[in-house]
Structure 1
Amino acid sequence: MGVTSFFKNLFGSAKETATDLANQAETTIEQAKEAAAPYVEKAETFAEETFAKAKEASEPILDSAAEYAHQAKDIVSEYVEKASDSIGDVIDTVKEKAADLTHETKAVATETVVDAAEKTEDATDEIVDETADKE
């Protein structure tokens, strides 16, 4: 029985020691939380103030950026209109030149048909004359 009571005493005192350590750790954690609370509050305040300052400082920059964006839009719109007008002028010029070329092509084709018809008529007359002479 001596061994059994030795182990009971050993493990019993270990259990009490562990319980005491757990209680001390809990107390230490509570004390740490209490000690850190002012620092956490200061950090939160600092973060809020910094955010407010950054927001305040960025507002004029954002306004300027918006103004420049509107100016750029106006300038681009102006150039789009000019480019559209120029493209319209080019299209009109191409249409005119195409119409002129079409007219010239029709005239050349008509002349060619007339010349071919005359040559055919002359050739036919020659053949008729030759045939008449041979008879």
Structure 2
Amino acid sequence: MGLSSFFKNLFGSTKESVTELAHNAETTFEQAKETAAPYIEKAEAFAEETIEKVKEVSEPIIDQAADYAEKAKDTVSEYADKVAKVANDVVDSVKERTASLNNEVPETISETVVDESEKPIAEVEEIAGDTIDKA
């Protein structure tokens, strides 16, 4: 029986220690939460103020960027029209020059030249025929 009472005392005291530890942890957590609450509120307020300041400062910059983008768009549109016109003029000019070159096709004169040092085809065929007959 001494052994069973030993285990009961051992496990019973461990259970009490764990319960006490959990209670202390819960109390400590509550105290930390209470202590941190004002700092959390200050951090949230600081974040909100900072976001508002950034919005105020960035509004004029965003407006300027929008104005600049609009001006750039107008300028690009203006030059795009000019570039398109110049490109069309170049294409038309190339077409005209190409058409005029096609109308002026030079007449090609060709001559047939026979090399007398070569044997005529009929003679080559005759020699080939004789060779085949002999074989």
More helix by share: 1
Aligned to 1:72: 72
Deviations 1:38-96 (A, max 9, x none): 11111111111111111111111111111111111111111111111111222232333
How many residues in Structure 1 have an aligned counterpart in Structure 2? Answer: 108
* Same amino acid, percent of matched pairs: 63
Counterpart Cα distance in 1 of 2:31 and 2:74? 64
Unmatched tracts of structure 2, length 5 or more: 109-135
For residues 100-115 of structure 1, the aligned pairs below 5 Å read: 100-105=100-105
Counterpart Cα distance in 1 of 2:76 and 2:85? 14
Give the letter for the 2:93 counterpart: T
Aligned to 1:117: none
Aligned to 2:39: 39
Counterpart Cα distance in 1 of 2:34 and 2:63? 45
Shift of 1:11: 1.7
For residues 13-52 of structure 1, the aligned pairs below 5 Å read: 13-52=13-52
Establish whether residue 60 from structure 1 lines up as the match of residue 56 from structure 2: no
Counterpart Cα distance in 1 of 2:95 and 2:4? 116
Unmatched tracts of structure 1, length 5 or more: 113-135
Shift of 1:19: 0.8
How high is the TM-score relative to the length of structure 1?
0.70
Structure 1 runs (4+) greater than 6 angstroms displaced: none
Give the letter for the 1:60 counterpart: P
CA RMSD of the aligned region, Å? 1.9
How high is the TM-score relative to the length of structure 2?
0.70
For residues 117-132 of structure 1, the aligned pairs below 5 Å read: none
Counterpart Cα distance in 2 of 1:8 and 1:100? 116
